[in-house]
A and B are shown apart, each in its own frame.
Chain A
């Protein structure tokens, strides 16, 4: 596609509910990143994929967070048993290599846990 597509744009979840956020990167982009952006803050790194391999998941806040990219294209970020502190915008970005020319970000999914 022309850009990075994320869905849903908005998600309201009850505390304790599981959610799945989808990212469709630019076709041919090898690298895919997930970032979390809390209100009034800059994005913070969550995880990094090169093709289907998850090379870095050091930013995932807890074991309730899980990300996958099984075929090296679409990626899903799953959050189990959501808590209020998970409320944030989740941004996906892709790049041709390791982001040496910068990333292309999607519009994000705004998650609100009530």
Chain B
């Protein structure tokens, strides 16, 4: 069974700071997805990465996928209060459809 470890578990920063959160897998990722979940809402897909070494940018968010496809990071530049939420990584592992999620990083950006 694939295990996804996310770190840190909690992160509290001031607006304008930069941050990085991590996702590590016990086995090679098949198709890694990053989601953000705001309080009281469902997760919203941010990005899907497939190729080892891939880097994707989404405005102030930069997603990196490790060469060995067992680790990934999400870097946020100049965090804003609207970035507050639970950041989840997820992968299908050996399944065609079933997502396995990490426990997430709970980010709080203070004004």
A residues in contact (CB < 8 Å) with B? 4, 31, 33, 35, 40-45, 48, 56, 59, 91, 93, 98-108
Contacts and interface: CB of A to CB of B under 8 A. Distances in A.
Nearest to B4: A42
30 contacts: A31-B97, A35-B99, A41-B103, A41-B104, A42-B4, A42-B103, A42-B104, A43-B43, A43-B99, A43-B101, A44-B101, A45-B99, A45-B100, A48-B98, A56-B98, A91-B43, A93-B42, A98-B96, A99-B99, A100-B31, A103-B45, A103-B99, A104-B45, A105-B44, A106-B42, A107-B40, A107-B41, A107-B42, A108-B41, A108-B42
Interface string B64-83: 00000000000000000000
Contacts of B100: 45
Interface of B: 4, 31, 33, 40-45, 48, 88, 90, 92, 96-104
Nearest to B33: A102
A29 to B, nearest CB: 13
A42 B98 contact: no
Majority SS at the chain A contact face: loop
Contacts of A40: 103
Of A35, A45, A59, A103, most B-chain CB atoms within 10 Å = A103
Contacts of B88: 42-43
Contacts of B48: 101-102
Of B42, B48, B102, B103, most A-chain CB atoms within 10 Å = B42
Contacts of A33: 97, 99
Nearest to A91: B42
A105 B43 contact: yes
Nearest to B103: A42
A107 B41 CA distance: 4
B75 to A, nearest CB: 20
